[in-house]
Each structure stands twice: as C-alpha cells, then as structure tokens.
Amino acid sequence: MMIRSLVWLRDDLRLADNPALAAAVEAGGSAAVLHVHEEAAGLRPLGGAARWWLERSLASLGAGLKAAGVELLVETGDPRTIVPETVQRLGAGNVFWNRRYAPAARAVDAAIKAALRERGVAAVSHPGNVLAEPWTIRTGSGGAFQVFTPFARAVRQSPVAIPLPAPFGAPAERAAPLDAGQPGWMRKLEGHWSVGEAAARAALLRFLDEALDRYAEDRDRPSVSGTSALSPHLRFGEISARQVWHAAQAAVLDEPARGAAVEKFLSELIWRDFNHHQLHHRPDIAAVDMRDTFAGLEWRDDPPAFTAWTRGLTGIPVVDAGMRQLWETGWMHNRVRMLVASFLTKNLLLDWRLGERWFWDTLVDADAANNPGNWQWVAGCGMDAAPYFRIFNPLLQAARFDPDGAYVRRWVPELAALPDAWVHRPFEAPESVLAGAGVVLGQTYPRPIADIRASQRRARETFAALKSTD
Ligand code: FAD
C-alpha cells in the first residue's frame, strides 16, 4: 500500500497534542509512523532504565496506532540513512516530525530535511515538547537567558500553545509487559510503573485530584507521593509539557485557592524548559562545566567511595535511601536527588560527571537536558547554580524533610527499628539503642564514608579557592 505521509516520532510517543501526527492526518491519505533507535555521531545512547521505558512506550504507542489502522515501524541505525530509505520504500510524499533542540540532533534533522527536499519530498517540522521554543525566549539584548527567574518570567509572558486533540480517539490502554531477557534490576521496574500515553494521563489526573493542593508543602517530603511522577512520561513525550501546563492552569480556574501550588508546579515545568534551552545553546552540558572557573577544580579520585555511593552504602541513611530508591524504581525524589548529588560532589568531592553518568543509566526519566543541567546546578558549575558556600547538610535536611524517618525506613530496612531521633544518624546513637534496633555498625549497616562537617569544610575551602580565581 502506498503511504502518503510518514511521521517520524522521537521523544513524542503520544497521539494527543502531537503536531506532526496531526499534520499527517490533515494531509489526508494513509500515514505510517517511524521510530528509530538512533545510532549517529553526537547523539547520546540511552541508558539502561530509559531503554526499558522506551520499549514499553513504543509497545503502547504501537497498540494505539494499530487501533487506528496506522503502522508503527521501528528501526535501528543512523536516521540519515533510515528515514530517506523508509520514505522511498513507502513511496511517501510528506515527512513530518516534531522538533528537538539539542544541536547534534538538530544537525541530524537538518541533514535529513535537506536530503528529502532534494528528492522532492516535503519535510515539515513542528514545535517539540517544550513550553516555548528556544529562539522565542530571548533577553532584551537578544541573547539566551542564563538566569532562571527572568527566563521564567519571559516564558510566563509568552503564550503556551493550546494542546491539539488526539487525531484518532482515546489513547491506547497499557500494552502487555514485555519480558525480553532483561537484567534483574530492569525487571524490577515493571512493578513500579505504568508506561504509555494512557498511563501518563492517569498520572496527571491523579496528581491534579490528590496532590496538587498540597504540592507546595509536600513536594519536599520524599516519603509522600506529593509530586506528579510525570518525569518519565514527559521525557518520552507520552504527555506534552503544553498539556500539563494547561491542565494545571485549568485546575486553578476550578479552585482559585490552588493558585500558589499551581504556580510552584508550573515553575518546575519551566525549569524543564530552562534546561532544554541551555542544551540548545550549550551542546556539551553533560561534559563541560558551564562555569569556566570549575575547570581548575581537582576532584578527588576515590573509586571505593563512588561504588559505595552507587550501592547506597555510604553510611548516611538519607543518601543510601535515595540511591536504593533509584536502583529499585528507576526514579528518585527530587529533594533526595539534590542531597545525593550534593553528597557526591561536595562531601566526597567526586566529579559531578560520574554521578551524572550513573543517573543517566539508572533513571527512567534520564534526560539529556535535565540530568546534566541539574547536576551542574548542584555541583555549583551550572548556570544560575546555588552559591558555592551553600552546601546541603544531609543530616539536617533529612531531619527536616523526613522527620519521622519513613523514607529511610522504607528504603534502608536494616535501620527500620531505630527510634526517630537516631534513624538519620545511627553513627551517633548510643550502643544500647543500636543493639535494641538490631543494628551493628560496620556489619549490618556501614559507618559513614565521610565525616559530614569535616568534608563540608573541605568542600567550602576547595570551592572558595576556585572562586578567588574567578
Ligand atoms: P514534579 O515535582 O511533579 O514536577 C513536574 C515536572 O517538572 C517534572 O516531571 C519534570 O519534567 C519537571 N521538573 C521538576 N523539577 C525539575 C528540575 N529540577 N529540573 C528540570 N525539570 C524539573 N529530571 C528529569 O526529568 N530528568 C533527569 O534526568 C533529571 N535528573 C536530575 C538530576 C539531579 C541531580 C537532580 C537534582 C534533579 C534531576 N531532575 C531530572 C529533576 C527532578 O528531580 C525531576 O524532574 C523530578 O524529581 C521528577 O519528579 P516529578 O515528575 O514527580 O516532578
């Protein structure tokens, strides 16, 4: 059968508010959808957990498309070869896609667009999964924003496009789980997530119904489901940032008292755009410090400490809880992401790139903009990062945001029987308390691999020295 339009979907695995898909339907005639597992220079290969998610997301998308009589083709290789070949094989006259903003990806897309046009094929791109495209948000002098607050103001002042309806009915229900000989740690993810457009929509509705009202307070409580858990759905475009934005705005119209909570939530969505815009202007954010002065920093080399961090065996309970949550679920609460990243880069003085790569492999929402952007923010070398002398104390943070220790007890069960007063600092607990809770430091749970106060001082000195060369 001849296909009139090919839709090349990348990180936009949904039917609703999908401008490229809508354009293909609008063009009339039959359409096919292509996804390519891309192997091309400059494109970062996905980590393990994200690959796991992608497979399921494609299965779900494929089911939704099939119900509408549209075939999903999945190929692996260089899209510069695969897209034109597929177009030729199908005899398609139009190709549609939604834009992406990382320079390497844009170069690939531009090359494909030029090659297709040379063959007389219409290649048309549409806005991608951001609130505002990078070239629409500029400083007064026409440059890119490097500071979040004015960036956020500019985004709020620019109109966010109204989401498009799904071109063919409701999104598919969740596809059957796949089980393709995956390693054990990825198999575990199955129990924690529903993947696909319908699941994304359900997560959004749950959040709006159950958590939005208390978002401003609960978003920092890792033991509570106080956030949307939309990040992997947004990462793969199972839902668009525009859909989330407008749904949250509508929630305020329903209930004006939610205003402050919604503002906070929208501001987090704007952080997502901020990072994507940074990546658009700085292709190397996963490798190079955004602040030049950091290039002089001598990170420590300590492989055993790094291994202890990855395994959740640092002896600092909240850090270990976070790293174990990540390993078990492919996700970690934002507050705890900040704490574990700070512990790695400040207390252990290990290079943020090590942590970024670990997250890249283990997060289901691992994102080429948000992951390095946030790591650089915590390490202090990012744009608009916290000042170097503000170093999180994980013990104080844990006492504040996990006051009853519920989060630590859930993920570090060997400490579960400790009383609240000691659950975040077992290394200071009296012997009798430890014995009563069945904790033997160095045996059932490690002693801290870093002294918090001393390592905080060392970090402050190291970073201050850097600052003086600024
Ligand atoms: P909500 O609080 O419900 O927020 C809604 C959405 O806003 C999120 O889904 C996300 O898309 C966006 N958002 C929220 N916080 C941030 C933020 N700080 N920066 C950018 N966008 C944000 N987020 C990723 O999506 N991918 C990553 O790879 C990633 N790596 C991170 C690494 C570190 C070291 C840190 C500190 C944060 C990282 N984040 C990353 C940001 C944040 O932790 C997650 O987006 C958030 O925890 C996801 O949970 P949620 O969907 O429930 O968030």
ipTM of the complex model: 0.99
Q: Is 116 in the pocket of ligand 1 (CB under 6 A)?
A: no
The amino acid sitting at 169 is: G
Confidence of residue 171 (pLDDT cuts 50, 70, 90): low
Structure confidence by residue, pLDDT tens digits, 77-107:
999 999 999 999 999 999 999 999 999 999 9
Structure confidence by residue, pLDDT tens digits, 304-327:
999 999 999 999 999 999 999 999
| pLDDT at residue 192 tops 70 | yes
Average pLDDT of the chain is 94
Give 206 Cα–ligand 1 centroid separation in angstroms. Answer: 18
352 is catalytic: yes
268 is catalytic: yes
Q: Is 367 in the pocket of ligand 1 (CB under 6 A)?
A: yes
299 is catalytic: yes
Closest Cα to atom 21, ligand 1: which residue?
A: 272
Mean pLDDT of 19-37: 96
Mean pLDDT of 110-115: 97
